[in-house]
Amino acid sequence: MTEQKPYDDIPGTIVFDADQSRKGYHLNMFCMSLMKADNRAAFKADEAAYLSRFPMTEAQRRVILDRDWNGMLRLGGNIYFTAKLAATDGLSFQQIAAKMTGSTQEEYAKMMLAGGRSIEGNRSKMESNRG
């Protein structure tokens, strides 16, 4: 069990730190394997069989198969590594970011061009209580 960190309570944010790195090591190694064309072909041919090559948890396998992008991050995925899975599916980084925020690609692009999400309600509660 890891101790509470000051950034754990920022709404909608999962910080990829050493604990997340350890938790998601095999998930991220799977994603990195998709850099090779032969591995992408094998994965596309039988996703579940390909995933069995990596000693991930069942929950990690499930979020990959379901393309639950936020779930991958919660279970230790690094956004830059999971983007390799998105690219394998023919999705851009902007498309998965939109899915992760519950918006369309057009809504997401408009929000980002307008300066991103508001900081109101998106700050660390622990940090703001220190005063």
Query: What does residue 15 show for φ and ψ, rounded to 5 degrees?
Result: -85, 125
pLDDT at 61: 98
For 14-90, CATH gives 1.10.700.10
pLDDT band at 29 (very low <50, low <70, confident <90, very high): very high
Sorted by where each begins, the domain ranges of the chain are 14-90, 92-131
pLDDT at 101: 85
Query: What does residue 125 show for φ and ψ, rounded to 5 degrees?
Result: -70, -40
Structure tokens of 29?
């190694």
Residue 130 reports pLDDT greater than 50: no
pLDDT at 124: 63
- Give the pLDDT confidence of 50-79 residue by residue, as tens digits: 999 999 999 999 999 999 999 999 999 999
Does residue 123 or residue 103 have the better pLDDT? 103
Angle at 70 between CA 64 and CA 76, to 5 degrees: 70
pLDDT at 4: 82
